[in-house]
Structure 1
Amino acid sequence: MNGKWQTVKLGDVCEIQSGGTPSRSKIEYWKDGNIPWVKIGDFSDKYISKTSELITQLGLENSSAKLFTKGTLLYSIFATLGEVSILNIDATTNQAIAGLKIKNNNQLDINYLFSYLKSIKDEVNRIGRGVAQNNINLGILKQFAIPLPPLETQQKIAAVLDKVQKIISESKATLEKYDTLIKSRFIEMFGDNSTENGKWNIEKIEDICTVTSSKRIYAEEQSTTGVPFLRISDLVSRINGNPINDLFIPNSKFKEFQTKGLVPSVNDILITSRGTLGLCYIIKPEDEFYFQDGMITWLAFKNHNKVLSVFIDWLFKSILKTKIDNETNGATVKYVSISDLKKLQIPVPPLELQNSFAAFVQQIDKSKFAVQKALEKAETLYKSLMQRYFA
């Protein structure tokens, strides 16, 4: 970053407000809503063009939610910190998201601000961990120092980063197409409502797996080096192919847990159980990490010769995740308990059919591997450019 550039406070160049959540107990605030309502799960790309939930005009008028106009930059300030996106629609947000409206577009370019805020995500997370509940308030956000080169320089920086970001987005889109292909094959082989098609035996997950979580790790037990310790956001990043390791537990503590059988085995599954529900991660042979209790549920398989991990993984992706989301709609914070997962009924198709599906997934994964490598290369370039421009 050029030391000659002027530095300004974010609150001096942007109008900043946080959103709000209409009461979930008031059905009239949600039913047949037509106003987009953004939550952190809707941050999937640079631009937000649709949301998973909508509120009504009554919900907007009777809550702290605010209608942000198209072109507003959104920034997450609670739990999952430092995520950035730009509204491509008029929308409201929950209270975990702040809306930033640039006061003077001849002074500050929105694409430049988007890139700069992305570049300081790690630093913001370090600040947030020093605050109760891992958050930053609007007062802290308004004090963020923003380097302000000439507008032409801002636009050139943003253009270079956007070019690389386009490659990243296209690679991710290709990976999503491969996942859609696998999901289609799953539905073709097993149906789209596998627990009610009458073809297979139906069993509870607790009959197939021991459903549990991790040993609780207190703050004083964490360390700056050792074995990575994953929060739910870290597990989601790992599922998405972007492992983040910035919290750890001592190697000795991890070895102790291994000795006591408190560490997942290869092909066991971890499931996100709070906020973002039903995402699965299959433990790989090279994995060595521990994870946060309460937020992440561990499926320890009793018999891998009865149900394959890859079948469970895609059963959640294709059917069960949507079912769980629908059943938890209306909750202030979405949560699925260990007891809920134990009782969840799943089909048990013949192992031969599961193996056939697993072979198909393996073949697609080979194609995904090349795309994933290209994606990683582009993401590395993007990070190096961010370092060059903003470090």
Structure 2
Amino acid sequence: MSVNLEPVLLGDVAGFVRGINFKPDDVVPRGTPGSVACMRTKNVQEKLDLSDVWYVREQFVRRNEQFLQQGDVLVSSANSWNLVGKCCWIPELPGRASFGGFVSVLRPDKTKIDPRFLYLWFSSNRIQIVLRSFGQKTTNISNLNIDRCLKLSLVLPPLPEQRRIAEILDRAEALRAERSAALAQLDSLTQSIFLDLFGDPVMNPKAWPLRKLGDVGQLDRGVSKHRPRNAPELLGGPYPLVQTGEVANCDGYIREQHGTYSEIGLRQSKMWPAGTLCITIAANIAKTGILTFASCFPDSIVGFRAEEAATVEFVRTWLSFLQKTLEDAAPESAQKNINLAILRNLTLPFPPIPLQQDFARRISSVEKLKVLQHASLVELDALFATLQHRAFRGELFQSDLRSNIAATPTAPDFRQHLKLDVDKGLEALIYVTGRTAEYDFYKALKTLYVADKDHLKRQGRLIYGETHCAQKHGPVPQAAYDGAKFLNGEMLLSPFPEDALRAALRRTARQLIPLRQPDLSKLSASERESLDRAINICAPMSFEQLKNYTHDAAYLKTPPNAPIRVEDIVATFSGGA
């Protein structure tokens, strides 16, 4: 329930202060008498980065307001398009500091708005996207339109509520940070296990026999024949496409991708099997990740495969020790790159296969812990996105709601719809996949969403208590999706009974294939009718048509990756969406 508050303009509760002007020659060493720290765009990171701070003489600070204050929001106001509007919180600083001309300060009127509430609102995903749209491009620089920023509106509860909301969001963010730190510790554990078993990979103190990388497995470049590589007809289909950045930013295992190829795109590329080690050779050098699903990738990535899966794991970790050296040594023209010959001729110590297998088993145990930690982090990310979305729509306010809530005891509790019936859910999944052309995984998932909407509208309940989440290509039934990922080895735990799931369905890169007929006694007549209606609606649609069809008002209202609320789905019935 939201509070009926009139939105206020940002300019009514906060103002911008522009930075100081100076030349690069005016920068002085730290500790110079009469100097002050000067923050610039480089310092604006997720948190204020104090690792590389410039100093200038205090005379360049013309006005007292140009000194940073605790609770300011430091904003990158002149930067590349994708970074304009980026901001960070100013904590208590160790000394006096100002800020340069490419950044600005958003300073709250503390009698009207809590500084932390302002920062959390301004740094939220939705507002950051809006800010980038306010950029005025000149050559390679985009300048933030301050006047348009000040006309942004926000729902502003009383100050005590603002502080409470900021505290809730900060607690959620602290949980995310703790989980991220735990994942980082597990990442370092992999290298520790390697050193314990095999010794230093460069010094080779255990005198393992030396082999060329090209002799211990098969190395080949990815394929992307068509130019330009991003031609529209190549993209937007059901075939996964992993890009260099997704390899560089993974945690050693590529569990997701954002790009896809069409049938035309697939014909000019190559599908690599799960278990392939991806190695980047352009821009990001020697970054690695093992595919957890079959995928295409471009020729800026090399694929490595070996007879033994343990060898792939061994090579991945061995390369992690060499990555910085290879990157520093890479020749650079327009961008750094290395070629296939360099990789094939790399010399590595090669321990016996049984020892590599022991290493792989140990790493598998670590990865199971990482999967659990990662799943927890995903849940926390979704929680934070939901809390943030609700907070700035006026749905986390408390003090003005107590009497209203007490006065409406018959308000519907939609949580009753989200009790997963795993037996019914498995049969519904088998029912849909068996009636979907070519067992199309994407289409089957979308069909379940359409069927649930139909049954909710006609019968007042979901078919099996599924939770649908707002992912990039539309609503996704989370339990069904997680079950499919379990079959593909991407998840440790299954929402459905594991043996029953394996006996019922088989997963390929883009298919979910039923291995038996559904038990129709588990599905009521109304449930089968809704499933059939959804199958008939979705069957003739292309990938793009189905994507557009399911991007309804409930989906569009939901933050990325967050659960779609049942009440928002219900609201689409009256609106015809």
Give the equivalent residue in structure 2 for 1:363. Answer: 365
Which residues in structure 2 correspond to 1:122-161 (within 5 Å)?
A: 123=129, 137-139=142-144, 143-144=148-149, 145=152, 147=154, 149=156, 152-161=160-169
**Is contact 1:80–1:233 with CA below 8 Å preserved after alignment?**
no
Structure 1 16/372 Cα, relative in aligned 2: closer, same or farther at 3 Å? farther
**Is contact 2:211–2:349 with CA below 8 Å preserved after alignment?**
yes
Give the equivalent residue in structure 2 for 1:61. Answer: none
Give the equivalent residue in structure 2 for 1:322. Answer: 324
Deviates more, 1:361-370 or 1:331-340: 331-340
Q: Which of 311, 315, 321 is the equivalent residue of 2:314?
A: 311
- Could you give the per-residue CA deviations for residues 117-147 of structure 1, whole angstroms, max 9, x where no partner exists? 332278469959xx999x9812358744362
TM-score for both structures, normalised by structure 2: 0.48
Q: Which amino acid aligns with 1:156?
A: R
Q: Which of 173, 181, 184 is the equivalent residue of 1:176?
A: 184
Q: Which amino acid aligns with 1:147?
A: L
**Is contact 1:194–1:346 with CA below 8 Å preserved after alignment?**
no
Give the equivalent residue in structure 1 for 2:207. Answer: 199
Unpaired segments ≥5 residues, structure 2: 30-36, 57-66, 394-577
User: Structure 1 residue 308: deviation in Å?
Assistant: 1.7
Give the equivalent residue in structure 1 for 2:348. Answer: 347
- How many residue pairs end up in the alignment? 354
- Could you give the per-residue CA deviations for residues 325-361 of structure 1, whole angstroms, max 9, x where no partner exists? 54469x8987333358526624142222221111111
State the distance in 2 between where 1:109 and 1:240 align. Answer: 41
3-state DSSP class of the match of 1:13?
strand
State the distance in 2 between where 1:125 and 1:15 align. Answer: 17
User: Structure 1 residue 370: deviation in Å?
Assistant: 2.5
Q: Which amino acid aligns with 1:269?
A: L
Q: Which of 253, 272, 279 is the equivalent residue of 1:264?
A: 272
Quick check: 1:7 aligned with 2:9? yes
Which residues in structure 2 correspond to 1:21-170 (within 5 Å)?
A: 46-48=46-48, 51=51, 54=52, 73=74, 78=80, 85-86=88-89, 99-104=103-108, 106=110, 109=114, 111-116=116-121, 117-120=123-126, 123=129, 137-139=142-144, 143-144=148-149, 145=152, 147=154, 149=156, 152-170=160-178
User: RMSD of aligned C-alpha atoms?
Assistant: 5.2
User: Structure 1 residue 154: deviation in Å?
Assistant: 3.9
Unpaired segments ≥5 residues, structure 1: 23-28, 59-66
State the distance in 1 between where 2:138 and 2:273 align. Answer: 33
**Is contact 2:286–2:323 with CA below 8 Å preserved after alignment?**
yes
User: Structure 1 residue 382: deviation in Å?
Assistant: 1.0
User: Structure 1 residue 161: deviation in Å?
Assistant: 1.1
User: Structure 1 residue 241: deviation in Å?
Assistant: 8.4
**Is contact 1:328–1:334 with CA below 8 Å preserved after alignment?**
no
Q: Which of 203, 218, 221 is the equivalent residue of 1:212?
A: 221
TM-score for both structures, normalised by structure 1: 0.67
State the distance in 1 between where 2:237 and 2:131 align. Answer: 17
3-state DSSP class of the match of 1:353?
helix
Structure 1 362/382 Cα, relative in aligned 2: closer, same or farther at 3 Å? same
- Could you give the per-residue CA deviations for residues 162-212 of structure 1, whole angstroms, max 9, x where no partner exists? 111111111111122222222211122233343654723444444444242
Structure 1 233/179 Cα, relative in aligned 2: closer, same or farther at 3 Å? same
Structure 1 300/244 Cα, relative in aligned 2: closer, same or farther at 3 Å? closer
Identity of aligned residues (%): 16
Give the equivalent residue in structure 2 for 1:62. Answer: none
Deviates more, 1:109-118 or 1:162-171: 109-118
Give the equivalent residue in structure 2 for 1:26. Answer: none
Question: Of the two, which has the highest radius of gyration?
Answer: 2
User: Structure 1 residue 254: deviation in Å?
Assistant: 4.8
- Could you give the per-residue CA deviations for residues 61-82 of structure 1, whole angstroms, max 9, x where no partner exists? xxxxxx9998654659548658
Deviates more, 1:191-200 or 1:158-167: 191-200
Q: Which amino acid aligns with 1:357?
A: F
3-state DSSP class of the match of 2:10?
strand
**Is contact 1:102–1:110 with CA below 8 Å preserved after alignment?**
no
- Could you give the per-residue CA deviations for residues 288-313 of structure 1, whole angstroms, max 9, x where no partner exists? 4x44554xx22232x33397221222
State the distance in 2 between where 1:310 and 1:231 align. Answer: 21
**Is contact 2:252–2:289 with CA below 8 Å preserved after alignment?**
no
Q: Which amino acid aligns with 1:164?
A: A
3-state DSSP class of the match of 1:137?
strand
